[in-house]
Amino acid sequence: MRYELCASQEIPEGQSKAMKAGETKLVVYHLSDGFYATQARCPHVFASLGKGKILKDKCVQCPLHRAEFDIRTGEVVKWANFPPGVQMLNVVRGEKPLDTWPVSEENGQLYVEI
Protein backbone atom coordinates (compact mmCIF):
# COMPACT_ATOMS: atom_id res chain seq x y z
CA MET A 1 0.00 0.00 0.00
CA ARG A 2 1.20 3.51 -0.81
CA TYR A 3 1.23 6.22 1.88
CA GLU A 4 1.90 9.95 1.66
CA LEU A 5 4.51 10.95 4.24
CA CYS A 6 5.45 14.66 4.15
CA ALA A 7 6.93 17.37 1.96
CA SER A 8 10.46 16.44 0.90
CA GLN A 9 11.76 19.80 2.14
CA GLU A 10 10.84 18.78 5.71
CA ILE A 11 13.82 16.41 5.76
CA PRO A 12 17.08 18.21 4.86
CA GLU A 13 19.88 16.16 3.30
CA GLY A 14 21.81 14.28 5.97
CA GLN A 15 18.82 14.24 8.33
CA SER A 16 16.04 11.80 9.23
CA LYS A 17 12.50 11.95 10.54
CA ALA A 18 10.46 9.39 12.47
CA MET A 19 6.85 9.00 11.32
CA LYS A 20 4.01 6.56 10.68
CA ALA A 21 2.60 5.15 7.46
CA GLY A 22 -0.71 3.58 8.39
CA GLU A 23 0.13 1.43 11.42
CA THR A 24 3.82 1.10 10.48
CA LYS A 25 6.33 3.18 12.43
CA LEU A 26 9.33 4.09 10.29
CA VAL A 27 12.21 6.51 9.88
CA VAL A 28 12.74 8.36 6.60
CA TYR A 29 16.33 9.36 5.77
CA HIS A 30 17.47 11.94 3.22
CA LEU A 31 20.84 10.81 1.86
CA SER A 32 22.88 12.35 -0.94
CA ASP A 33 21.30 9.97 -3.47
CA GLY A 34 17.69 10.18 -2.31
CA PHE A 35 15.20 9.19 0.35
CA TYR A 36 15.01 5.85 2.17
CA ALA A 37 12.79 4.33 4.86
CA THR A 38 13.56 1.74 7.54
CA GLN A 39 11.70 0.34 10.50
CA ALA A 40 11.68 2.73 13.47
CA ARG A 41 13.13 0.39 16.09
CA CYS A 42 16.49 -1.35 16.28
CA PRO A 43 15.98 -5.14 16.16
CA HIS A 44 18.50 -5.61 18.99
CA VAL A 45 16.48 -4.26 21.96
CA PHE A 46 14.09 -1.93 20.10
CA ALA A 47 15.72 1.48 20.70
CA SER A 48 14.44 4.33 18.53
CA LEU A 49 16.39 4.72 15.29
CA GLY A 50 14.75 8.12 14.92
CA LYS A 51 17.32 9.21 17.50
CA GLY A 52 20.11 7.35 15.68
CA LYS A 53 23.12 8.96 14.07
CA ILE A 54 23.63 8.87 10.29
CA LEU A 55 27.18 7.71 9.55
CA LYS A 56 29.13 8.14 6.31
CA ASP A 57 25.93 8.96 4.42
CA LYS A 58 24.85 5.34 4.36
CA CYS A 59 24.48 3.86 7.84
CA VAL A 60 22.36 4.57 10.87
CA GLN A 61 23.85 3.89 14.30
CA CYS A 62 21.51 2.83 17.08
CA PRO A 63 21.80 5.30 19.98
CA LEU A 64 21.68 2.56 22.61
CA HIS A 65 24.19 -0.19 21.79
CA ARG A 66 25.75 1.28 18.61
CA ALA A 67 24.59 -1.36 16.16
CA GLU A 68 24.99 -0.04 12.59
CA PHE A 69 22.74 -0.74 9.61
CA ASP A 70 22.97 0.15 5.94
CA ILE A 71 20.05 2.56 5.43
CA ARG A 72 19.63 1.57 1.77
CA THR A 73 19.40 -2.20 2.30
CA GLY A 74 18.79 -2.72 6.03
CA GLU A 75 21.84 -4.99 6.25
CA VAL A 76 23.74 -5.22 9.54
CA VAL A 77 27.12 -3.48 9.18
CA LYS A 78 28.11 -3.84 12.84
CA TRP A 79 26.07 -5.54 15.54
CA ALA A 80 25.56 -4.15 19.06
CA ASN A 81 28.95 -3.61 20.72
CA PHE A 82 28.53 -0.99 23.47
CA PRO A 83 28.89 -0.90 26.43
CA PRO A 84 31.42 -3.66 27.06
CA GLY A 85 29.56 -6.79 28.05
CA VAL A 86 26.52 -6.23 25.81
CA GLN A 87 27.90 -9.03 23.64
CA MET A 88 26.51 -11.48 26.22
CA LEU A 89 23.01 -10.28 25.29
CA ASN A 90 23.87 -10.85 21.65
CA VAL A 91 23.81 -14.60 22.28
CA VAL A 92 20.00 -14.40 22.58
CA ARG A 93 19.53 -11.29 20.40
CA GLY A 94 21.35 -12.36 17.23
CA GLU A 95 21.92 -10.16 14.21
CA LYS A 96 18.81 -9.18 12.32
CA PRO A 97 18.57 -6.70 9.41
CA LEU A 98 16.16 -3.76 9.32
CA ASP A 99 12.98 -3.85 7.29
CA THR A 100 13.19 -1.25 4.51
CA TRP A 101 10.63 0.24 2.13
CA PRO A 102 10.98 2.21 -1.11
CA VAL A 103 10.39 5.97 -0.94
CA SER A 104 9.44 8.05 -3.95
CA GLU A 105 9.22 11.80 -4.43
CA GLU A 106 6.52 13.37 -6.60
CA ASN A 107 5.83 17.09 -6.87
CA GLY A 108 7.72 17.77 -3.65
CA GLN A 109 5.88 15.09 -1.63
CA LEU A 110 7.33 11.85 -0.27
CA TYR A 111 5.52 8.52 -0.51
CA VAL A 112 6.38 5.08 0.85
CA GLU A 113 5.29 1.62 -0.37
CA ILE A 114 4.60 -0.75 2.52
81 domain residue, yes or no: yes
Q: Is 90 exceeded by the pLDDT of residue 81?
A: no
The model carries a pTM of: 0.90
15 domain residue, yes or no: yes
Domain that holds residue 13: 2-106
114 domain residue, yes or no: no
111 domain residue, yes or no: no
10 close to 77: Cβ distance less than 8 angstroms: no
Tally of domains in the chain: 1
Please, what is the Cα angle at 98 between 67 and 102, to 5 degrees? 135
113 domain residue, yes or no: no
Q: Per-residue pLDDT tens for 9-54? A: 999 999 999 999 999 999 999 999 999 999 999 998 888 999 999 9
Per-residue model confidence (pLDDT) at position 44:
87
Q: What is the mean pLDDT of residues 72-76?
A: 98
72 domain residue, yes or no: yes
Q: Give the CATH number, domain containing residue 26.
A: 2.102.10.10
92 domain residue, yes or no: yes
112 domain residue, yes or no: no
